[in-house]
Structure 1
């Protein structure tokens, strides 16, 4: 990555942002070591801001710090992934049901536009992948008009990003996920909370299966 610019937020804030992005994007894989000296050199900062950034990321569940061994990108095991998905599924299904009741006509139009754009991207690729910046889930949650639900879902998704970063790039998963999203959005559009929740349940089950399939493709924790 480029050296961070010394303007605006503190160096610790910027180091945290860079490392966080590398982790959730899959650039730094679960179990990989985070070398404080190397990262400081890459970002052209001292080790202090990097150390503070690591501690913050550890509090957020993205980094594991071990005494006398250093920092590692946290690895989730299958049990942890299932537990997080149980919470995520409950929140996402509730959000979809509430969105069916509360979404405005303009928001439904936006959801459909996102789907149409993504359909073009997925079907136009030689190796289909789900558009990385599609915020359909975020928009559905926003349509729920429930601030608490939004906050807790963000916390759960933060940890799941440790293994979900690459799930959208599985060739078989991209068109399947798009079809599942389409069913959720159409249920929201016709104002059917039960159908929206049911469609989201199916989507969450498929997403869990896909995410669990990624676990074997992560490095060992160097133990």
Structure 2
């Protein structure tokens, strides 16, 4: 693996996990030393992160982790809704019904008892996303979805502390997978719409609670 790729993946994981919080300064000298790379591959990694929208270069020598506010989250979900509803509809028309029936059974059996089980649930969602991408078979659509998911990892952290929302999310994913397996494109798209509506409401509610601000939506609702 190239040094720039290694630096990019390490910083990406740290930003998505919250170890590098919004507003954190990423100094070239310090980070290059910490990651064991020279400054040239580090700059390449930072350039990729900037293209992803995860860091902002405030000056030639100062790069900071970008913030995530209610407006950013709403904008992300506007794009996510357009992409994922379309993907669900296409998957119902093109996908392997047996694959999605199996995923529906796995969602039905999913446990959220403890942090490890919650991690397993998010891994199941990742496998569902992979199956969705394969079924859609549209490189333009799946590329756009990958960009959205890069940001979604950060946003999803806000939903992990809401057990009720996670439980509802399991049922919503099961319905989406079942609709795709049944080749019911309208239901798959509608179920995706409902899931994303609830997920956005939950995340904005969690953001309100953590900042004490008002985003205009106080519903409880996992991404």
Same fold (TM over 0.5): yes
Contact 1:24 1:161 in 2 (8 A): yes
CA distance in 1, matches of 2:165, 2:31: 33
Q: Does 1:32 align with 2:32?
A: no
Alignment of 1:67-78 (within 5 A): 67=59, 70-78=62-70
Give the total of aligned pairs. Answer: 207
Q: Does 1:46 align with 2:35?
A: no
Mark the runs of 5 or more structure 1 residues left unpaired by the alignment.
1-8, 219-223
Contact 1:26 1:166 in 2 (8 A): no
- Provide closer, same or farther for how the CA distance between residues 110 and 208 of structure 1 changes in structure 2, counting only shifts above 3 A: same
- Provide closer, same or farther for how the CA distance between residues 193 and 96 of structure 1 changes in structure 2, counting only shifts above 3 A: same
Which of the two has greater helix per residue?
2
CA distance in 2, matches of 1:27, 1:202: 31
CA distance in 1, matches of 2:116, 2:10: 28
TM-score, reference length from structure 1: 0.80
Q: Is 138-147 or 174-183 further displaced after alignment?
A: 138-147
* Residue-by-residue CA offset, 1:118-156 (whole Å, 9 max, x unaligned): x13x1x338973623221233223222333221111122
Contact 2:50 2:57 in 1 (8 A): yes
- Provide closer, same or farther for how the CA distance between residues 167 and 37 of structure 1 changes in structure 2, counting only shifts above 3 A: farther
- Provide closer, same or farther for how the CA distance between residues 37 and 110 of structure 1 changes in structure 2, counting only shifts above 3 A: farther
- Provide closer, same or farther for how the CA distance between residues 182 and 132 of structure 1 changes in structure 2, counting only shifts above 3 A: closer
- Provide closer, same or farther for how the CA distance between residues 102 and 110 of structure 1 changes in structure 2, counting only shifts above 3 A: same
Contact 2:99 2:181 in 1 (8 A): no
2:131 corresponds, among 118, 139, 151, to: 139
Shift of 1:116: 4.3
Alignment of 1:109-124 (within 5 A): 109-116=101-108, 119-120=110-111, 122=112, 124=113
CA distance in 2, matches of 1:91, 1:104: 20
Mark the runs of 5 or more structure 2 residues left unpaired by the alignment.
212-223
Shift of 1:157: 2.4
Name the SS of the counterpart of 2:122 in structure 1: coil
Q: Partner residue of 1:206? A: 198
Q: Alpha carbon RMSD of aligned pairs, Å? A: 2.5
Contact 2:98 2:181 in 1 (8 A): no
Contact 1:92 1:141 in 2 (8 A): no
TM-score, reference length from structure 2: 0.80
Q: Does 1:99 align with 2:99?
A: no
Q: Partner residue of 2:51? A: 59
Q: Partner residue of 1:125? A: 114
